[in-house]
Amino acid sequence: MRNLSDFLGILVFDKWTCNTNGRQAIFFHEPGGYAQVSDSTAASPGEPGSAALDRAVGAYTVPDTTAGYTAMMIDFGFCFNAGEWDFPDAPLRGLYARHRVYDGVSGIEAFEPWLARLEKQMTERVLGEEAAQIPPEWYGGDWNELERLLERLDRRRDRVRELIFSARNSGREPFPNWKVRHA
């Protein structure tokens, strides 16, 4: 799969927003896709991808035979506990049902850079700027209620690591290769 790590990023998002629905994804393959080639790695002189050809014609496209399936994350309707706008956290919430997508997780560092982005870049100011673009009919025109939700989201940024640890410690072993190290 081309974007397997996106399952880790979306888990960070789902934990942050308390998506109370199971994570859903669709998978697609674009036959006949093309890749942009612009460097000269592993090609012989005169072959596509060679430095000589790159200098002569610049970047070009070739059929992308290495592209597998791509996952697209869908259905965000139960973020903030659907219409309740609260956060009833539970250890297994937000996890994709087929835990095989988490086989590459061997520690909390697997969730970088998403955790760092959430903790350091998703500031109260950024949340406010994004909220200003939301049509009022989406939040019933109650700016004060939306503002309270944003304040809670801002405070939750630092809890997401803890929520991921609670998933790991749940007994269901969603991250089979993340072993607890005992001192």
Q: What does the alpha-carbon distance between residue 77 and residue 132 come to, in Å, rounded to a whole number?
A: 20
CB neighbours of 160 closer than 8 A, spacing ≥ 6? 12, 15, 16, 115, 118, 119
Nearest Cα neighbor of 146 from 76, 83, 75 is 83
pTM recorded for the entire structure: 0.80
Residue for token digits 């674009």? 30
Six-digit token pair at 133? 């673009």
pLDDT tens string, the chain, 183 residues long: the values are 899 999 999 999 999 999 999 999 999 987 765 555 444 333 334 444 434 333 333 444 445 555 689 999 999 999 999 989 999 999 999 999 999 999 999 999 999 999 999 999 999 999 999 999 999 999 999 999 999 999 999 999 999 999 999 999 999 999 999 987 765
